[in-house]
Amino acid sequence: LISNGIYDDEASCDNSKVNHAMLLLGYTKDYWILKNWWGSWGEAGYMRLARGKNLCGISNYAGYVTV
């Protein structure tokens, strides 16, 4: 689990088997800012995921809503 910091663990994430969705709220040059739906998980419900590595398949299945 994550408690703080930027998640950057390539070994624990399989880019080819995506089985969870989060809301991408923003980014910096170093990381994505994601909101999870597991309550206070991570950093008060948020996580920072390193950019430029496609960790956990973040770049494989992007989606968006049209209102």
CATH of the domain at 31: 2.40.50.170
The predicted structure's pLDDT at residue 29: 95
> Average pLDDT by consecutive 10-residue portion of the chain (67 residues)?
75 79 93 91 90 88 82
Please report whether residue 31 resides in a domain.
yes
Give the C-alpha distances (Å, rounded to integers) separating 28 from 13, 20, 65, 66.
21, 22, 22, 25
The predicted structure's pLDDT at residue 16: 79
Please report whether residue 63 resides in a domain.
no
β pairing state of 6-7 and 46-50: parallel
* Number of separate domains in the chain: 1
Domain of residue 37 covers 6-10+19-56
Look at the pTM and tell me if it is higher than 0.85.
no
The predicted structure's pLDDT at residue 2: 60
C-alpha 63/C-alpha 44 separation (Å) is 24
